[in-house]
Structure 1
Amino acid sequence: MFVNGTIIDGVFDTTVNEFTLQRVKNFDTQSVLNETQINNIYQYLHLHRDNEDGQIITLYDQLPIRLSKEESSQLIGDIEKVMSMYH
């Protein structure tokens, strides 16, 4: 099932219960995330949601991407959509 979020896009595979992240903002990527990994990302973002400076995430451990506070909130919403798909 394709997930088209505001900050992220990807495909959720119900047969293996994994989310393949394909886009962050306007950057293409390819990462497979299991439920624990998604939950950990969500918990971190939720805990730091009031950070006025936003967040910096990295793709491929090399490419930093800045997220404003608003974009961080949008990412939390996108992740909540993905979290609801795990069984």
Structure 2
Amino acid sequence: MFMQGSIIAGEFDSSLNEFVLQQVKHFETESILKENQLNQIYDYLKRNQHQEDGQIITLYDQMPIRLSQEEIIRFIVDLEKVKCLYQ
């Protein structure tokens, strides 16, 4: 099942119970997230969503992407949609 959020996009594979993250903002990527990994990202962003400076995440451990405070909130909403897909 394909999921297009406002910050992330990807494909949820219900047979493997994993989310293949394919896009963050407008950057292409390919990362497989198991439920516990997605929950760790979600929990971290929830704890830090009120930081005025936002957050920086990296793709492929090389390419930094800045997320504003508003983008973090939208990212959290996207992750909540994906969380509902795990069984």
TM-score by length of 2: 0.99
What is the alpha-carbon distance in structure 2 between the residues aligned to residue 12 and residue 69 of structure 1?
26
Partner SS, residue 12 of structure 2: strand
| 1:21 Cα deviation after fit | 0.2
SS at match of 2:49: coil
Aligned to 2:75: 75
Deviation, 1:64, is 0.2
SS at match of 1:10: strand
For residues 35 and 5 of structure 1, the distance between their equivalents in structure 2, rounded to whole angstroms, comes to 18
Which consecutive unaligned segments of at least 5 residues does structure 2 have? none
* Structure 1 portions without partners, runs of 5+: none
Aligned twin of 1:31: 31
Q: Secondary structure at the match of 1:51?
A: coil
Which whole-Å CA distance do the structure 2 matches of 1:50 and 1:72 have between them? 9
- The alignment covers a number of residue pairs equal to 87
Structure 1 residue ranges (4+ consecutive) displaced by more than 6 angstroms after TM superposition? none
CA distance in 2, matches of 1:36, 1:74: 20
2: distance between equivalents of 1:53 and 1:3?
A: 28
Superposition TM-score, scaled by structure 1 size? 0.99
In structure 2, give the amino acid aligned to 1:43: D
- Percent of counterpart pairs with the same letter? 57
Distance 2:60 2:39 in 1: 20
